[in-house]
Structure 1
């Protein structure tokens, strides 16, 4: 079977245009070497016809069963990536192809690279398919909800190895560094032999485009600086975002905030996230418009959105950049005790912005989400962070993706929600204690339900309402009057 699997894998790589038919002998020999095979039949009948990730799983099972590798997570990941590395071109060739496609159109270029990243198994499509995804109505529009099941569980041997082999290795410096391209991986560090990135200069600096290996939305991409440096939100960041939309007008691009709690999970490497997807926040309507007195060409509004968002629109990039920077600088030093907002504790800053850029109707559009990361005795995880009463659904940081209206919820919810559904159906259940009050509230509102499909609809609706509450907690202005006080300060 291994010969059929290898032949099938190579045939699929040809069909997906990862390699040319003329390369098949060379590629086969490279894969044979990785599997410790010294010969290959002259003729293979009934080659495996399946998707690339499925064929890879069969080959890895052979490798484990024949003592090529141990049945350990990292060993399997490293071999999988190395096999696929035999089937994709070098970075220079991929970049050259990307920019030839770009001459046709920016979308043709990203279509090519996205397909390559999926077909090369860098984007883990089989694992992503495990995620639970649905849309839920809310007072702010239709939200995206994802229960994240794509990250595989580590086996006990993997955990033991990581504990015993914990080495002080600082290469690559982090998982976003350019040095990850083609890196084989090691115990406790991801395999990236099949990883490729595209050179995308921004503002005279070397930046790179790659896709997330666990995409949460269509063409979920990461744009990263070549230099390993901390995240920083400033005028230069705004300009890079808008410059990127010039180069890829079909993509939005945004940045996590640059402070803990309000920021994302990786603040140590300057990067943005982009993609070809319309989030709920992009569809949000104006709560009210206002005038920026020093920037008469700017159309400014506050969005009807649970977080505190200023939307700026203008056909002139420089005017938009100046206006955005003025709002940022004003916000960074702004305090309002009535709204529980303080810009500093001693020398520690609390105010920053999560920015999102796009081109809409031939206009530049920049959304500025005002963030604050201050904590208190009542809210030790953050005053403008999900509060304790919603932690049973979501207590992690509200990063860019959540800000835009996509909830990435923990895997534990799959089984926990199943128990709540049994409870609502009147069956024996074991509802986790921290969900019990919520489950009781749902049952009180809807009563005992006999239809399991109706229970699914109710649970999805209630999760959407909870996620809206999560985002409301992260909003810095709970009332229009407080927002207007800030705008008045902007116009001083």
Structure 2
């Protein structure tokens, strides 16, 4: 049945938010101010809020109230969805009022608001290819990231004409809350941040617009300061998992190559997800001298992970910091581990915190960002023979066992499948040796080609993580790992 487009959108805004029927005329006029009075006569058969928003954006595009680029359309779409979202003060008041009695309900409510308002791009995220594949380290998760829109050439051209303002300083600054956006910067009108404190520091909590896992969120400093792994990092991460029940919290490393994509702003990631690394068992127990309250060990994982478990937060922080400081200065030439080249540091840690029952758990992943003539992209980085699948940095999420593979792989893997089935194909030369090996080792049919290719992608990802591991999964590598932990001080 057809209904009036603007009226239907406003009806759904009232149903999904805190507005009432008394706000109906006001909301209609707010919509028309954004999309043009011409839209008042349009009809629709849609009832879903985001579909209605898209139709209003299309109407504004047609009547000249919206520019042609995807960025401009996103800006208008966010403004329309902002009519659903309360002011930041109200969002924060509602969150903390609910939190007093039901912390998990407060998180669930904010998560649902972020999805309803299209801040979390649920439809785009649904496009991602996702599967799980077994490995000797546990079930690895593979995602081919198709959710983030490709850059619009028109927006790129328009951005060159836009004067740089330096505001907001970066996409993680608190000043993004409610920011309109522009051709070279994402729309944030419908964006809200929950404020919370870690000691005397003010921090923000928000969900990731393009989530890779359940309730994928970001914890960001109120200050625009560069990332730095330190004793404070461990204090903050443990504080976060105590304040946000059921969530893990982790930090990307603070050095290039082994770090995340944004090193200019102190932030952590978290969410309600149990990664393969978190489920991995300790293979070698360790007893650090002076830390009797801590159960420690080396984790059976392709990267080099020391796990610390205790109810004693102060001891956890102290031992984690001792390991960090030891690692920053530690070298072992036998296995190409070097703390410095001249004055340039190479060593840091990717730390992850979560709770296991009543125990606080800190996983410390040792990182080394050296390069060499043989490995110009990084000695402990995906090596060239696997870069046809993954050549980007191995960040926090991948460290824990969830591969984020580039969108180019979707069409490329279709051609690999055709090759494996003996069909006419346009396989990329870089995939050919790998595909030939797969074909030689398997009896491939149309019924099993998907499963075989997924398994083989999982094997490549396991290799990628092994490449990024500082102490290799060999007798020599594990003996070197023990030398390091002994240097920290064992009983």
> Is 1:82–2:79 an aligned residue pair?
yes
Check conservation: 2:219, 2:267, Cα contact below 8 A. Answer: yes
1:194 to 184, 190, 194: 190
SS at match of 1:246: helix
1:197-236 mapped onto 2 (5 Å cutoff): 197-236=193-232
Report the Cα distance in structure 1 between the residues aligned to 2:309 and 2:24, rounded to whole angstroms: 52
1:83-482 mapped onto 2 (5 Å cutoff): 83-165=80-162, 167-447=163-443, 449-451=444-446, 453-478=447-472, 479-482=477-480
- Count of aligned pairs: 486
SS at match of 1:407: strand
Check conservation: 2:309, 2:362, Cα contact below 8 A. Answer: yes
Deviations 1:393-444 (A, max 9, x none): 1010100010011100000000000001011111111110100000000000
Report the Cα distance in structure 1 between the residues aligned to 2:30 and 2:2, rounded to whole angstroms: 14
Report the Cα distance in structure 2 between the residues aligned to 1:22 and 1:101, rounded to whole angstroms: 26
Report the Cα distance in structure 2 between the residues aligned to 1:241 and 1:155, rounded to whole angstroms: 37
Report the Cα distance in structure 1 between the residues aligned to 2:100 and 2:305, rounded to whole angstroms: 36
> Is 1:61–2:70 an aligned residue pair?
no
Report the Cα distance in structure 2 between the residues aligned to 1:217 and 1:302, rounded to whole angstroms: 26
Deviations 1:203-236 (A, max 9, x none): 2101000011100000100000010000010111
Deviations 1:1-23 (A, max 9, x none): 99722222222223333533433
Structure 2, unaligned runs of 5 or more = none
Distance apart, 1:142 and its partner CA = 0.8
SS at match of 1:55: helix
> Is 1:484–2:457 an aligned residue pair?
no
The 1:47–1:416 alpha-carbon spacing in structure 2 relative to 1, beyond 3 Å, is closer
Q: TM-score, normalised by structure 1?
A: 0.96
The 1:470–1:139 alpha-carbon spacing in structure 2 relative to 1, beyond 3 Å, is same
Check conservation: 1:145, 1:407, Cα contact below 8 A. Answer: yes
Report the Cα distance in structure 1 between the residues aligned to 2:429 and 2:438, rounded to whole angstroms: 15
Check conservation: 2:138, 2:280, Cα contact below 8 A. Answer: yes
Report the Cα distance in structure 1 between the residues aligned to 2:40 and 2:424, rounded to whole angstroms: 57
Superposed CA RMSD: 1.7
Check conservation: 2:2, 2:45, Cα contact below 8 A. Answer: no
Structure 1, unaligned runs of 5 or more = none
Distance apart, 1:383 and its partner CA = 0.5
Report the Cα distance in structure 2 between the residues aligned to 1:392 and 1:298, rounded to whole angstroms: 42
Deviations 1:124-167 (A, max 9, x none): 111111111111111111111110111112333222212333x2
The 1:65–1:39 alpha-carbon spacing in structure 2 relative to 1, beyond 3 Å, is closer
Q: Which residue of 2 aligns with 1:25?
A: 25
The 1:333–1:310 alpha-carbon spacing in structure 2 relative to 1, beyond 3 Å, is same
Report the Cα distance in structure 1 between the residues aligned to 2:297 and 2:187, rounded to whole angstroms: 45
1:50 to 47, 52, 58: 47
Report the Cα distance in structure 2 between the residues aligned to 1:342 and 1:232, rounded to whole angstroms: 20
SS at match of 2:198: coil
Q: After the TM superposition, which of the residue ranges 6-15 and 413-422 deviates more from structure 2?
A: 6-15
Deviations 1:10-38 (A, max 9, x none): 22223333533433322221111111217
The 1:15–1:254 alpha-carbon spacing in structure 2 relative to 1, beyond 3 Å, is same
Distance apart, 1:101 and its partner CA = 1.4
Report the Cα distance in structure 2 between the residues aligned to 1:304 and 1:316, rounded to whole angstroms: 24
SS at match of 1:488: helix
